[in-house]
Structure 1
Amino acid sequence: MRLGARMLKTGVAITVALYVSHLIGLNSATYAGIAAAFAIQPNIYRSFQTMLEQIYANLFGVGIAAMIVFSLGNDPIVIGFTTVIVIGICMKMRMNENTIALAIIAVLAVMETTEMMLFNFAGLRFAALTLGILAAFIVNMLFLPPKYELRLFKSIDQLTSDILQWLRISTRHLSDDPALRTEIDRIQTELRHIDNTYLLFKEERIYRRKIRMPRLRKLIIFRQMIQTSRKSLETLEAFHQYDDKVEHIPKEFQDVLVDELDKIIYSHERLLLSAMGKIKKNTTRSIEDITDPDLPHLVETLIHVYEKDEKDRLALLPLASRLMEYHKEILHLQKILTSYQRFHEHLDFNFKKKRRKFALL
């Protein structure tokens, strides 16, 4: 089991909430710890939104519970009825599950049997729950703040490397079919995880005007990197699907297919290395001439191979179409990455930092 930053933050937030409760003499420290546990979020923006939402839910839960206890008492049936009302209000306001759970805790905290004055008791419970929410927000903002930019690029880079490695193996008919199928399923899962990380990175707010525009451009670049990796995966799936047909077509087309795909793979790798600053900005044109793919030539070769074979004519044209789509995404990535490096030469990507010791969950 990995010890993630979110786990540590939850423990620290509960500790802070309990300590502060004892320091100020609040006798409901347990409720402060519970609220802190529910309020931890994966990024600062969501933490702020959750803090506001949970304070509202806490207010509704405590307020409604206090009024019903004052008018109807705290019989178990009444408590259950009050819980249903609070859940309905929270759902009407489209609050998330954690917030609804905290509202229910607020109801139960207020409606338990006590000899204290009702409004004093409700005020103490409200203060305890609010303290826990605020403690979680402060810890989430100051303790191990997430840096999704570095994490996102490392994930994209590793995933792309795996896809391109399997592409090279598949085009030479060296891949094991069950192993490749398992890897494709794993890569699809990793892509969904990367999409979620991108969403968290996108939600982070930038208030400094100077770096707002570079940040927006980075978002565009990351989105295109993910799209390009997705197209490379689709190309790998196409090679897996048409592996038997490719193996039995004339060697002339096989050679052209492997050669053009190698050029596309190299172009993709070259862009990732350029983003990391590992390639000279003024590369020689001769290298680009050698490595730039010629996909129209690939399609013409495919058509020429099957001109006299009506049965299997153009059977592999979908494969060539996937290659063309993949190359199109690479060209778009190259365009926006070049634009970023030209306009924001002094603002490098933060890809050269050391790997963090704790994984953000």
Structure 2
Amino acid sequence: MLKTGIAVTVALYIANLIGLPSATYAGIAAAFAIQPNIYRSFQTMFEQIYANIFGVSIAAVIVFTLGNDPIIIGFTTIIVIGFCMYLRMNENTIALALIAVLAVMETTEMMLVNFAGLRFLSLTLGIVTAFFVNLLFFPPKYELRLFKQIDQMTADILLWLRISTRHLSDDPALKGEIDRLDLEIAHIDNTYSLYNEERIYRRKARVPKMRKMVIFRQMIVTSKKSLETLRAFYQFDDKIDSIPKEFQKVLVDELDKIIYGHERLLLSTMGKIKKNQTKPVEDITTPNLPHLVDTLFRVYEKDEKDRHILLPLASRLMDYHKEILYLQKLLYSYQKFHDGFNLNFKKKKRRRIAP
């Protein structure tokens, strides 16, 4: 939002400074050209300049040959939209091409060539201004933003896992939280795509960036597994109450070990775990999931009907733990070959409940 405001302001100032009579179009073009990262901004700049050239050229030719009657203007917009869609341009680029058409085809007493040229210069000025604002002002730090989102979402999931396993959660509230966390994952996937699009031009920084991308991707996968586990506990909540306390205790103990391991890996990523030369920094308390499954079969030996009813829950825990182990392996590998993976940041205290 801030960069869009800056881009519009700078475009208007420059247009007025050089004496363009249509400064407003420069501001409109700047607003449409702002993108969330530098790579997209670079791509959008050339795409919108091409669309601007096409829109101005078609509009000038049609005005010169057929005039600027409203029906003709509408027909021209159809042609421009069809051409832009054929080239698979995005919505903002198509909108800017239509603005170019309307800007040229409006009624004026000025010579057509001069008029079209001024409109083209105004729109191009806005596009180029937006690119340089995106490049120079507040460059996005998607690496830190991505980790913040992952860390906060994971903290919320683990909090609800602890609450739900101790039968303290309210069903409607937990259902609402699961829906909200699904939306958070969609936002995180979008941030990861923006981070993935960032280009590294220094050769030495490319390999660490690629390794970090693999780690972030695994962090997201692990968080998704934790959310699947939470969803499984929500679905089986009424069945867990009916099983013997022996299995409930084993279930809670093993899940707490998995949660502890997940939290410790995130703290390690923030550099908050003391490094020990005798043990890897990601060393975690290993849960005994086979013992969980054996306990589940043992408590249902006399009840064939409900013997396998909670096996999907145990399967979720095993999948979740497998992803944590893989994330641990990736982090250890990165810390071994590079100078550490420290993404510490200041933020409000997170809500945590001791296991």
TM range (shorter): over 0.9
Task: Give the 5 Å matches for 1:1-361.
Answer: 7-282=1-276, 291-344=285-338, 346=339, 348-349=341-342, 351-354=343-346
Partner-residue secondary structure (3-state), 1:173? coil
Query: What SS does structure 2 have at the residue aligned with 1:291?
Result: coil
- Gap change, CA 1:287 and 1:122, over 3 Å in 2: closer
Q: Percent identity?
A: 77
Q: Which has the higher contact order (CA 8 A, sep 6+)?
A: 1
How far 1:297 moved relative to its partner? 1.2
- Structure 2: gaps of 5 or more residues: 348-355
Change (3 A) 1:120 1:286: closer
How far is the alpha carbon of 1:48 from its aligned partner? Answer: 0.9
Q: Residue 7 of structure 2 contacts residue 133 of structure 2 at CA under 8 Å; is this kept in 1?
A: yes
TM-aligned CA deviation for residue 23 of structure 1: 1.4
Q: Residue type matched to 2:145 in 1?
A: R
**For residues 121-149 of structure 1, what are the alpha-carbon distances to aligned partners after superposition, in whole Å with 9 as ceiling and x for unaligned?**
11111011000000011001111111011
1:331 is aligned with what amino acid? L
Structure 1 distance, partners of 2:281, 2:25, is 65
Q: TM-score, normalised by structure 2?
A: 0.95
Structure 1, 324-333 or 277-286: larger mean CA deviation = 277-286
Distance 2:262 2:133 in 1: 40
Q: Aligned AA for 2:92?
A: N
By how many angstroms is 1:116 displaced? 1.6
The separation in 2 between residues aligned to 1:332 and 1:16, in whole angstroms, is 48
Q: Which residue of 1 aligns with 2:352?
A: none
Deviation at 1:305, TM superposition (A): 1.5
- Secondary structure at 2:14 match in 1: helix
Structure 2 distance, partners of 1:352, 1:141, is: 25
More moved, 23-32 vs 225-234: 23-32
Structure 1 outlier segments of 4+, above 3 Å: 283-290
CA deviations 1:33-57 (Å, max 9, x no partner) are 1100111111111111111110011
Aligned mates of 1:29, 1:304 — CA distance in 2: 78
The two structures have a TM-score, normalised by structure 1, of 0.93
1:38–1:308 distance in 2 versus 1, CA, 3 Å: same
What SS class does the counterpart of residue 229 from structure 2 fall into?
helix
Partner Cα separation in structure 2 for residue 137 and residue 287 of structure 1: 43
Contact 2:260-2:284 at 8 Å conserved across structures: no
Task: Name the aligned partner's letter for residue 269 of structure 1.
Answer: E
1:188/1:283 Cα in 2 relative to 1: closer, same or farther (>3 Å)?
Answer: farther
Residues 238 and 334 of structure 1, relative CA distance in 2, 3 Å threshold: same
> Using the alignment, how far apart are the partners of 1:348 and 1:143 within structure 2?
26
